Structure 1
Amino acid sequence: MKKLFRLPLLALALASASLLTASCSKDDSDSLAVQAHDQNAMMSIMHDMMKKMDAMPKTQDPDQDYSMMMVMHHQGAIDMSELELKDGKDPQMRDLATRIIAAQKAEIARFNTFLAGHKIETPLVPAFNARQKMAMEKMMRANDLRVITGNTDRDFAQLMQDHHQSAIETSQAILDLGRHAETKALGQQIIDSQMMEIKEMQEWLLKNKGY
């Protein structure tokens, strides 16, 4: 009686293993390839950008520190977008990269103009730097949790979302703690435009995630 009971179970187990093997070995557009983070060019840009921002001297003047930091942060987005234009193939993501480069170069110019005419002001506001640091650390944790595929279009869409989100959170901090109309206007512009771009990347990934 026991032998008769075991045979169907054994057959079921073998059938399940066969189906799992076939599924895992499937080599088509639904399969998921993974690339080590330290081998990914997009991730390298993110880490290099973070090192530069960490090394930036903090003045505790929110408008000064926001402007200096966003120049570095925007340059990271430009570098990632240029890599997308170099290696990416999807027309929509390439178009987005072109738009990001144009918008963020223009914003860098406005930040630099502000910095050229600005003198550090008191009272100091250390709360801004605390919020900025929190946003950037959150960005890098989110990046490190991403499944990186080595597909430039997908990696760009994934990592740029985290990059944009940190800019949005830091820009909200300048709206709350900043003192100057120009930095606040730039902060609101960044929030509005990058929220729309995050939505575009999310919708694209839902259609093109590859698994």
Structure 2
Amino acid sequence: MRSTRTLTRRVAVSAASAVAALVLAACGGDGDSSGSDSGSTAAAGSASASASAGAAAGAHNAQDVSFAQGMIPHHRQALEMARLATGRASSAQVEALAARVEKAQEPEIRTMSGWLTSWGEDVPTSSGSMAESMPGMDHSGSGMPGMMAASDMAALKKASGKDFDAMFLTMMVDHHKGAVDMATAEKKKGAYAPATSLADDIVAAQTAEITDMNKLLGNG
């Protein structure tokens, strides 16, 4: 009988110990879970902060929109001028310069059009002449410096040989100077990093081309 009672006591003690161990384990588990939740919350907060920082880095302002909407038609007119060189220019150097303009500015137009589309802004139309794409605007006195008037473009289309070379270079120097002015304004006031970077590229490339064209004109 005594043996039976002793065995019963031992079983009870063992059961109590097991219950206590389970309780302690549960408490420890709750602590770990809390720590895990806290870590998850911190990670989520960090991700949110990173996303906010990324959004801020990609923010754009009115200057960025104005730059893209102005530079697209400006580039398109430069392409229109450059394509006239084929069959009209007498100088291989003028033809090479026109090819450089076309190669550089076509991709830039696509890039800026993509920005405007992603921002929900209007992309200047590409059909027809500059006058048709931006009706009612006198391009020679518009907000886009360096734009040629319709009469200038008509005269360039009629020219050929050395006359074309001289007219093309003179007009393109003015056109490039206007683009440099617009890009410089973007560098100073723009907020969208890709746009200010493109503006920097435009200033560097077109300033170099202005130097080259002035040399061909005998001005440098």
Normalised-by-shorter TM-score class: 0.5 to 0.7
Q: What residue number does 1:161 align with?
A: 173
Q: How far off is 1:173 after superposition?
A: 0.4
Higher relative contact order (CA 8 A, sep 6+): 1
Pairing 1:168-187 to 2, within 5 Å after superposition: 168-187=180-199
Pairing 1:109-124 to 2, within 5 Å after superposition: 109-119=110-120
* CA 74–134 in structure 1, closer or farther in 2 if over 3 Å, else same: closer
Q: What residue number does 2:89 align with?
A: 88
Q: Which residue identity does 2:115 align to in structure 1? A: F
* Counterparts of 1:153 and 1:160, CA distance in 2: 10
Q: What residue number does 1:66 align with?
A: 67
Equivalenced residue count is 132
Q: Which residue identity does 1:79 align to in structure 2? A: E
Q: Structure 1: give runs of 5+ residues left out of the alignment.
A: 1-59, 121-131
Q: Structure 2: give runs of 5+ residues left out of the alignment.
A: 1-60, 122-140
Residue deviations 1:135-187 (CA, integer Å, cap 9, x gap) = 62x6669x98xxx9941111111100000000000100011111101110111
Q: What residue number does 1:196 align with?
A: 208
Provide TM-score, normalisation by structure 2.
0.54
Identity of aligned residues (%): 27
Q: Which residue identity does 1:77 align to in structure 2? A: A
Residue deviations 1:108-127 (CA, integer Å, cap 9, x gap) = 0111111111246xxxxxxx
Asked if the contact 2:74–2:147 (Cα under 8 Å) also holds between the matched residues in 1, the reply is no
Asked if the contact 1:161–1:198 (Cα under 8 Å) also holds between the matched residues in 2, the reply is yes
Pairing 1:31-110 to 2, within 5 Å after superposition: 61-110=62-111
* Counterparts of 1:92 and 1:77, CA distance in 2: 17
Asked if the contact 2:77–2:147 (Cα under 8 Å) also holds between the matched residues in 1, the reply is no
Larger radius of gyration: 2
Q: Which residue identity does 1:71 align to in structure 2? A: I
Provide TM-score, normalisation by structure 1.
0.56
* Counterparts of 1:139 and 1:174, CA distance in 2: 18
* Counterparts of 2:142 and 2:197, CA distance in 1: 21
CA RMSD of aligned residues (A): 2.7
Asked if the contact 2:176–2:210 (Cα under 8 Å) also holds between the matched residues in 1, the reply is yes
Residue deviations 1:54-103 (CA, integer Å, cap 9, x gap) = xxxxxx91111110111100000000000112311200000000110010
